[in-house]
Amino acid sequence: MDFKKDSFFNGNSDWEDVGNGVSRQFVGYNAQIMMVIVKFEKGATGALHQHFHSQITYVASGKFEVTVNGETNILHEGDGFFAQPNIFHGVKCLEEGKLIDAFTPLREEFLV
């Protein structure tokens, strides 16, 4: 597996369209950690899901309805959430924006 582990990230990486108004850009990753910027159009969703990874998400811009483990909150720029392993979580974009996701270990399925 190739790792994206440049010392610096300048934001010029390609955006990957994952469909339904969502695209992502990889900041960096190795076997232990992955950081991804996820861009959402208004109304786009990150469906309720779970995975064995720990995830911390920071709202870089926009407004999101976020559900973690059955609890729902509205998050704005500067807010964030933590999804422990195997906890259901998801988002709905209320105002176009970007989330910064950090995972440990890396999400290998994102690289397929």
pLDDT (tens digit, 9 = 90+) per residue, 14-28?
Answer: 899 999 999 999 999
The answer to the question of residue 61 being in a domain is yes
What is the predicted pLDDT for the residue at 26?
A: 93
Domain span holding position 36:
17-111
45 close to 91: Cβ distance less than 8 angstroms? yes
pLDDT band at 110 (very low <50, low <70, confident <90, very high): very high
**CATH code of the domain covering residue 99:** 2.60.120.10
The answer to the question of residue 94 being in a domain is yes
16 close to 25: Cβ distance less than 8 angstroms? yes
The answer to the question of residue 4 being in a domain is no
The answer to the question of residue 5 being in a domain is no
In angstroms, the CA 74 to CA 28 distance is 28
Number of domains in the chain: 1
In angstroms, the CA 106 to CA 20 distance is 23
Torsion angle in degrees (nearest 10) through CA of 54, 59, 60, 61: 150
The answer to the question of residue 6 being in a domain is no
- For the chain, how long is the longest CA-to-CA vector? 38
**Span 46-57, pLDDT tens digits:** 999 999 999 999
Mean per-residue pLDDT of the chain: 94
The answer to the question of residue 3 being in a domain is no
Residues with Cβ within 8 Å of residue 112, at least 6 apart in sequence = none
> What residue has token string 């990874």?
53
The answer to the question of residue 74 being in a domain is yes
For the chain, percent of residues with pLDDT exceeding 70: 97
Q: Which residues pair with 98 in a beta bridge?
A: 39, 61
What is the predicted pLDDT for the residue at 39?
A: 98
Q: Residue 8: enclosing H or E segment and its boundaries? A: none
pTM of the model: 0.93
pLDDT at position 4 over 80: no
The answer to the question of residue 102 being in a domain is yes
